[in-house]
């Protein structure tokens, strides 16, 4: 995720870190060159399409704008819901830390291991959503026990079950009361619900038909646009075509990034930084030295 101050007017057109321009540069340059070729051919051959060349593009442009608006709104809703779920994770981790330290007897020695398993859950969930191996990060908190999860398909869920067995053993031994167990179990149920919400977003992309329809319409529009502008705009047609391509394909590419909010692209969520927030919350609750907040690398939080 890119976090940076708003650039001034002079820097506005030169900012590339976090911009969508590098991804769509081939379309911008390609359609600009294509438009120049069309204008050159029309002028060389003396072709004349009349004065009605721009009328169809106004109608098609409105339709394409509706497609873009719908897809962009749907993609942003997914991104924002994912951010709320990870904000809920931070909230649940702080609640779990407070409840564990208040309800689990200190002489049982089980509060800290429970919270370390919760931190391992955070990193395993991040790894599952990004399709990366987070065993090394989990090993930091639960040691070699993280290696026992190598054969498990859903590692975060396995960690929640492990935490459930731990508080179940505390209830069975009489270390905590039934009401204490219920409070702690509700915290684990919230973690499980949060994981299911993230899996719903990650496992249900926007219907492919929307993407296909939008991209086909954008390409057809930009391919035909130079024929409509050539007579009224002349050699300025490549510039206008490149600007239209920037707008249409830029919004499409941005929506594609927001559609998968758990990735590692510039506009995706900073899951590493959010995991570090959870670590800080837990270690400070335990009264131990907390790690420093993750620093951005050239305005980028991973």
Give the pTM.
0.88
What Rg value do the Cα atoms of the chain yield, rounded? 27
Tell me the mean pLDDT in the region 260-264: 90
pLDDT in tens, 141-183: 999 998 888 889 999 999 999 999 999 999 999 999 999 999 9
Hey, is 297 helix, strand or coil? Answer: strand
Q: Which DSSP state fits 7?
A: P
Q: How many residues does the chain have?
A: 302
Q: Is the pLDDT of residue 8 over 90?
A: no
Question: Residues 150-185, buried b or exposed e (16+ Cβ, 10 A)?
Answer: eeeeebbbbbbebbbebbeebbeeebbeeebbebbe
pLDDT digits (tens, 9 = 90+) for 177-206: 999 999 999 999 999 999 999 999 999 988
């Amino acid at each position: 995720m890119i976090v940076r101050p708003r650039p001034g007017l002079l820097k506005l057109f030169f900012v590339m870190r976090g911009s969508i321009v590098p991804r769509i540069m081939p379309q911008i340059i390609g359609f600009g060159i294509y438009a120049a070729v069309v204008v050159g051919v029309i002028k060389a051959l003396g072709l004349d399409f009349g004065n009605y060349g721009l009328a169809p593009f106004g109608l098609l442009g409105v339709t394409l704008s509706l497609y873009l608006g719908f897809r962009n709104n749907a993609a942003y809703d997914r991104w924002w819901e994912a951010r709320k779920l990870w904000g809920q994770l931070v909230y649940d981790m702080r609640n779990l830390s407070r409840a564990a330290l208040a309800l689990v007897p200190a002489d049982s020695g089980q509060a800290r291991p429970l919270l370390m398993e919760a931190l391992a859950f955070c990193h395993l969930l991040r790894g599952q959503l990004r399709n990366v191996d987070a065993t090394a990060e989990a090993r930091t908190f639960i040691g070699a026990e993280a290696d026992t999860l190598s054969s498990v398909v859903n590692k975060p869920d396995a960690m929640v079950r492990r935490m459930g067995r731990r508080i179940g053993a505390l209830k069975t031994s009489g270390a905590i009361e039934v009401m204490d167990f219920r409070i702690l179990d509700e915290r684990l149920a919230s973690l499980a619900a949060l994981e299911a919400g993230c899996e719903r977003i990650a496992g249900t992309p926007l219907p492919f038909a929307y993407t296909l329809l939008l991209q086909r319409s954008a390409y057809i529009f930009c391919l035909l646009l130079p024929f409509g502008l050539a007579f009224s705009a002349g050699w300025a047609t490549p510039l206008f075509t490149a600007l239209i391509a920037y707008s249409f394909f830029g919004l499409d590419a941005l929506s594609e990034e927001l559609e998968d909010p758990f990735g590692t692209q510039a506009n995706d969520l900073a899951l590493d930084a959010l995991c570090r927030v959870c670590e800080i919350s837990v270690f400070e609750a335990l009264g131990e030295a907390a790690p420093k907040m993750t620093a951005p690398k050239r305005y980028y939080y991973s």
